[in-house]
Amino acid sequence: MDFQYLIKDIPDYQYFYTVDEMDKRSKALAEKYPEQVKCYKAGESRNGHDINVLEIGKGSKNALLFGCPHPNEPIGAMMLDFLSERLASDEALREKFDYTWHLIKVIDIDGTKLNEGWFKDSKSIKNYAQGFYRPPGHEQIEWTFPIDYKTLHFDRPLPETQVLMKLIEEKKPEFMFSLHNSGFGGVYYYITENAPELYPVFKALPKLVNLPLSLGEPEAPYLEAYAPAVYNLSSITQEYDYIEKNSDMDPAQIITAGTCSDEYAAKVAGTFTLVCEMPYYYDSRIEDLSDSDISRREARLYNVKKSLESSQKLQAILDSIEEEIPNKQDSPFYRAVSHSLKTTVPYLKAEEKEIMTNPDMERTAKVSEVFDNKIVSQFYQGLMLGMFRRLLHESAQGGSSLLIEKRDEVDKLFDQHFESLEKQLNYKPIPIKDLVTVQLLAGLSTADYVQRKGKK
């Protein structure tokens, strides 16, 4: 089914809406279309903010879509804002589907509020990094579903996770869309199972708005590729087995979190899940499949080496001020930084072992893979540096002279890092409308596929 006619009606967004703006718009939509839309409170965030669900339509099947599963990922929230208005106002669109739609624009409300500093101006990678926040794994809504696997036992779902669990258990959605996005690169997809009918659609959608597929390194080395830039949704059990194979440590000491929504929904309801990862920034090298002058092993080892150096440098600074940080366990930035530094090094050591033993690493790396490993990886290292910077600015207020000294040191490191990165990149920020377009059409196309598949 072709949904491209919707593109012309997507607004030319100039910024991302805040949580409060999203709440206001959801309630206004329910008031405007009381026969089609119900807006109700499904629970509260850890800080006591209402989690609102928009229920639209009266189909016999259920679809669950939720934005901001990670709080630095507001593209999906913008898509859901447009989709909710269109479903409410467009009877013809509603009737194309036999779904009752359950939409949560922002599931990680508290974390999203900590990212709102860059929502009004996301054009610069440095500005994005200055306002960036992402919690540790055991505080991520997407990664705190219960799991029992070998030595990994996790049963501490967050209040927000419990909201999703209840909806999954009660509604048993046939289709679920967890609305993630990346920071840099191209478009790529995750799905629950092999679905060849969708791959031509997934390949064509980015071209509608002149975006590339992400043809560099996958997010994790153990992912199964169904097609270029299309992967099987990875589970925590796959990550566990990968670490177990490549590390002497107990994987449960490195993971420290639970499983994800798609694995839980597949088990509880047999749900088909889509994830459509969208970047904020684009550089043409992410789609360059020509051969480079180095091996894939050399490219990936460079990434590991630089990541280790960055982590060890930040760990040394943190160790020097650990006792000086006031009320550190109350700081989301401290918890995020300290946990990441604790788990990154053993994970990188496992990755290093896999690189050295994997025969596929001997082939010549594509330019896109080298770009991913040598430059895009530095962008993500810069996000951790940005959170460390926020921790020190928070801690140095009225703090010791040592904290002030280290704050200034990290400020300098941050500025130098992004000055160097800007020289290595030729990037452009991607218009929010284009990002919403691809996620919207990918979601509706997949929802249509799942609906037709169920009728066979």
pLDDT value of position 339: 94
Please state, for a pLDDT cut of 70, what percent of the chain lies above it: 100
Asked if 258 contacts 143 with a C-beta cutoff of 8 angstroms, the reply is yes
Token digits of residue 157: 């779902």
**Domain co-membership, 299 together with 375:** yes
pTM for this structure? 0.95
**Domain co-membership, 236 together with 195:** yes
**Domain co-membership, 392 together with 443:** no
pLDDT value of position 454: 84
**Domain co-membership, 408 together with 441:** no
**Domain co-membership, 160 together with 257:** yes
* Ramachandran bin of 316, using left for φ above 0, alpha for ψ from -120 to 50, beta for the remaining angles: alpha
381: Cβ contacts below 8 Å, ≥ 6 apart: 306, 307, 310, 417
DSSP secondary structure letters along 16-52: PPPHHHHHHHHHHHHHH-TTTEEEEEEEE-TTS-EEE
Helix (H) or strand (E) holding 295: strand 291-295
**Domain co-membership, 440 together with 383:** no
The residue assigned the tokens 């994005």 is 128
**Domain co-membership, 266 together with 398:** no
pLDDT value of position 185: 83
**Domain co-membership, 277 together with 180:** yes
**Domain co-membership, 183 together with 271:** yes
326 by Cβ neighbours in 10 Å (0-12 / 13-18 / 19+) ranks as middle
**Domain co-membership, 212 together with 73:** yes
**Domain co-membership, 40 together with 177:** yes
Q: What residues in the chain have per-residue pLDDT under 70?
A: 455-456
pLDDT digit string (tens) for 338-394? 999 998 989 899 999 999 999 999 999 999 999 999 999 999 999 999 999 999 999
Token digits of residue 278: 């969208």
The total number of structural domains that make up the chain = 2
**Domain co-membership, 316 together with 403:** yes
The residue segments making up the domain with residue 252 are 4-283+430-455
Q: In CATH, what number is assigned to the domain containing residue 187?
A: 3.40.630.10
CA distance linking residue 319 with residue 56, whole number of Å? 51
